[in-house]
Chains A and B, each alone.
Chain A
Amino acid sequence: QKEVEQNSGPLSVPEGAIASLNCTYSDRVSQSFFWYRQYSGKSPELIMSIYSNGDKEDGRFTAQLNKASQYVSLLIRDSQPSDSATYLCAVNLNTGNQFYFGTGTSLTVIP
C-alpha cells in the first residue's frame, strides 16, 4: 500500500471560518491528486482534483499542491455546517489503476 497520510482529526471549525486539511504522500511518482468528501453512510464524492504545482480554486474550495514537498492541501472558505464530513485525500500513481487513499480527516463545522 502506497503511503498517503492525513491528520485524522477530528477538526472542528466555527461556521464561516476557513478549514485547512492536509495530506502528504510518500511515492514521488504520484502524478494526480484528489480530494473526496464522504458523508456518514455514503460513498465518497469528488470535490477537487489537481495535477500541477500551485493552487486550484473552485468556489469555496482551494486545492494546493507542492510536489517537491510531496504535500497537497484543501482549504474550505466560509465553512458551512453542510461541509461536516470526512475528507479523503487520494493520489494516483499515473501508471494506471492505482488510486491510493489517505486515512481521512473528520471535519465538523459548528453553527
Chain B
Amino acid sequence: DTAVSQTPKYLVTQMGNDKSIKCEQNLGHDTMYWYKQDSKKFLKIMFSYNNKELIINETVPNRFSPKSPDKAHLNLHINSLELGDSAVYFCATEPGAATNEKLFFGSGTQLSVL
C-alpha cells in the first residue's frame, strides 16, 4: 500500500495544453509539498500546504495552481504548458509543521512538454 502516490508517472503533452498531476497520501501527515526537479537534479520547492492551507508559494508562475481538497490530497494543475515546464515533479509529505522529520516522497511524475 503506497504511502505517497502520484499519478500519472509519465506525462507527455504539447505546448499550450493544460494538465494535472495528482498526489494522495495515506500517512495522515499534515503537510504536503510539490517539488520540481530539473535535468541537473536540483529539487526546487514550489508549494507547501499544511492542513489544506497554502503556506509557501516560491515564486512559481501563476500558471501553476495547487489544490488541496482535503488533507490527504494535493493536486497540481498547470495551464498553458511551456517547454521549460519539462521536469520531474515530486509530491512529498511531512508529519506536521516544524516536526523536523524526514520528507516522504512520491515516485515522481516525469513531465515532457513537446
Contact = CB atoms under 8 A, between A and B. Distances in A.
Interface of A: 1, 8, 31-32, 34, 38, 42-46, 49, 51, 86, 88, 90, 92, 94-101, 103-104, 106
Given A34-B102, A43-B105, A99 B94 contact: yes
B42 A101 contact: yes
Contact of B100 (A44, A46, A51, A100): A51
B45 A100 contact: yes
A32 B97 CA distance: 13
B9 to A, nearest CB: 10
A1 B102 contact: no
B48 to A, nearest CB: 4
B58 interface: yes
A28 to B, nearest CB: 17
B103 interface: yes
Given A43-B90, A97-B94, A98-B48, A103 B42 contact: yes
B50 A97 contact: yes
A43 B45 contact: no
A31 to B, nearest CB: 7
A43 B42 contact: no
B66 interface: no
B100 A97 contact: no
A88 to B, nearest CB: 6
A106 B39 CA distance: 13
Contacts of A38: 41
Contacts of A31: 100
Contacts of A44: 43, 90, 103, 105
